[in-house]
């Protein structure tokens, strides 16, 4: 679980990248330079980025990459559970799930059978990732009753984050104007 307000983001980015390296090594898959670059761009912000946002950033860094390479990298990172696709924002975020904790078990990334909850802020655009045992239990119960097998369920909830609620009296744009 990640607290978006007041967190050490540099530590957050470092943790995501270190975890990706360890995990890929453990699984015997290659975190190529391209894949790492795409992950680093996603890790840089908690606001979901589209494939074209990523392409744009890579080009501005002076690297030329074809859109198809971005999509391939995104497919790889999604398959490894290192990033998540946020349908309602048409973008991707790096997984910030606390992977060093026991709840990840052997897999070391978000279990595709477990529900991931995203709290999406309509104002700053940030996505907070959460896992809830209570919610998981409820979903398992519903799935069992319906004999339904959920495939990487993601719950996307939009609203206003704590930070934006606190600053709503004096919006940021007022300072910029």
Question: Closer to Zn ion at the Cβ: 65 or 85?
Answer: 85
User: From the annotation, which residues make up the binding site for Zn(2+)?
Assistant: 121, 124, 161, 164
Q: Pairing between strand 116-121 and 154-159?
A: parallel
| Alpha carbons 175 and 167: distance in angstroms, whole number | 12
Footprint on residues 106-145 left by Zn ion (CB under 5 A): 110, 121, 123-124
Task: Check binding of 97 to Zn ion (CB under 5 A).
Answer: yes
Distance, in Å, from the CA atom of 113 to the CA atom of 152, rounded to the nearest integer, reads 5
Distance between CA atoms of 106 and 121, rounded to whole angstroms? Answer: 32
23 binds Zn ion (CB under 5 A): no
What's the gap between Cα 103 and its chain centre?
17
Nearest distance from C-beta of residue 91 to Zn ion, angstroms: 15
- Name the minimum Å distance from CB 156 to Zn ion: 13
Size of the site for Zn ion (CB under 5 A): 10
**Looking at 16-24, 54-62, 70-78, 87-95, which segment touches Zn ion (CB under 5 A)?**
87-95
- Tell me how crowded residue 17 is: count the other CB atoms within 10 A of its CB: 17
Q: Is 152 in the site for Zn ion (CB under 5 A)?
A: no
Residue pair 1/158 in contact by the 8 Å Cβ criterion: no
Contact positions vs Zn ion (CB under 5 A): 9, 12, 95, 97, 110, 121, 123-124, 161, 164
């Amino acid at each position: 679980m990640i607290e978006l307000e007041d967190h050490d983001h540099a530590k957050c980015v470092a943790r995501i990248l270190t975890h990706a390296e360890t995990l890929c090594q453990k699984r015997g898959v290659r975190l190529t330079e391209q894949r790492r670059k795409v992950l680093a761009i996603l890790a840089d912000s908690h606001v979901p980025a589209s494939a074209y946002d990523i392409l744009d950033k890579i080009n501005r860094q002076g690297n030329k990459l074809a859109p198809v390479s971005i999509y391939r990298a995104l497919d790889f990172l999604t398959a490894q559970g290192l990033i998540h696709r946020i349908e309602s924002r048409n973008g991707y975020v790096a997984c910030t799930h606390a992977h060093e904790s026991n709840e990840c078990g052997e897999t070391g990334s978000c279990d595709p059978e477990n529900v991931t909850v995203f709290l999406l802020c309509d104002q700053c655009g940030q996505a907070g990732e959460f896992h809830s045992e209570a919610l998981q239990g409820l979903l398992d119960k519903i799935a069992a009753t319906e004999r339904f097998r959920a495939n990487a369920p993601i719950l996307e909830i939009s609203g206003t984050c704590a930070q934006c609620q606190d600053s709503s009296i004096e919006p940021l744009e007022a300072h910029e104007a």
